[in-house]
Every structure is written in C-alpha cells, then in structure tokens.
Amino acid sequence: MLVNGEKKDIQNGMPLLDYLKNEGYNPERVAVEHNGDIVPKNKYQEELLYQEDTIEIVQFVGGG
C-alpha cells in the first residue's frame, strides 16, 4: 500500500481506523483520502484497506 507516497505493508482487509491507530495517528485529527476519495470520519471503521491501495493522510496541528 502507498501511504503519502511511501510503500507500507498491511494485512489485507484492515479497517482504516485500525491502521490509523496502529500508526499513532489520532483519527479525530486527520483527513484521509483513499484511492482518490475523501473518507468521512464516521466511515473509518468500515473502510477496508488492501495492499494495492493508495491513501493520503493529512494531520491537523494546533498552534498559535
């Protein structure tokens, strides 16, 4: 799978939410594009990932 342009190995059929948590992302503070489509946060558990997929993850960072 390509994540932000970097090759990653995953278990086929892994829910997006599990992937995000395993990689240390806070699911409430990211936006995810999966194979060209934005994934709504309420669909992170249903969205399944496979080796041939591409995802882009954008983290929101607070500051002032």
Cα angle 29, 31, 32 (rounded to 5 degrees) comes to 135
DSSP category for residue 62: -
- Contact predicate 28/41, CB 8 Å: yes
| pLDDT for residue 24 | 96
Task: Give the pLDDT band of residue 10 (cuts 50, 70, 90).
Answer: very high
Architecture in CATH of 2-59: Roll (3.10)
Q: pTM for the full model?
A: 0.91
Q: How far apart are CA 48 and CA 60, in angstroms?
A: 23
Sorted by where each begins, the domain ranges of the chain are 2-59
Task: Give the pLDDT band of residue 9 (cuts 50, 70, 90).
Answer: very high
Convert the pLDDT of each residue in 15-63 to its tens digit: 999 999 999 999 999 999 999 999 999 999 999 999 999 999 999 877 6
